[in-house]
Amino acid sequence: MNDQTPAGDIVLDVAALRVLAHPMRLTLLEHLRQRGPATARQLAEHYEIDSGAASYHLRQLADGGLIEEDTQRGTRRDRWWQARHRSSIHDPASGGPGEREDSRGYLHAVLLAYSEQLRRLAYTAPLLPDEWYEASTFSNYTLRLTPAELNELKSELAAVVEKHRRHDDEAGTPVALQLHGFPLLEPDDDA
């Protein structure tokens, strides 16, 4: 963690990018961050996957230092897992050329995991209590920017998000805020 990383966050290194280059691992990690400790069996049931596959992905996350066993709960047979950090930070510009492939693999997994989260939201959002429904936002903007302007926007938005973060021990309902900023290139466009 560097001096500018908020407490409780992790800046993803190459090893972590490789571990998280699978959408199910990202999904399980986010579940543990948002909802707290869980067992492989609970996660498998929730995401409708095989419990062996859930256990495998959890072990990969643990080996990568992203989650750990919650020794205050469960037994040897019924292991509980918890997230070690509240957020992951990855800025593609901060990595070297050797990290680019791992960074792109992580990006691919992030987009697949987020699309699955949005698919699930499609079934629950209409059922939100009025207060939460009215406080929610579903926006899509198309801006015309240079890479430098997108970097500036990214920094400004990160500062706003940090201003509104609460500490883990404070009251409040977890809210998912997803922000994506990328050029709208067609597959045959020059990148």
Question: What would the pLDDT profile of 27-83 be if each residue is shown by its tens digit?
Answer: 999 999 989 999 999 999 999 999 999 999 999 999 999 999 998 997 777 899 999
Provide the residue count of the chain.
191
**Domains identified in the chain and CATH numbers:** 9-128 (1.10.10.10)
pLDDT at 177: 82
Q: What percent of the chain has pLDDT over 70?
A: 91
CB distance 113 to 26 below 8 Å: yes
pLDDT at 1: 35
Nearest to 177 by CA among 124, 127, 121: 121
pTM score of the predicted model = 0.78
117's tokens: 């989260």
What lies within 8 Å, CB to CB, of 100 at 6+ separation is 92
Strand ranges inside the chain, DSSP E = 9-11, 38-39, 67-69, 80-83, 87-89
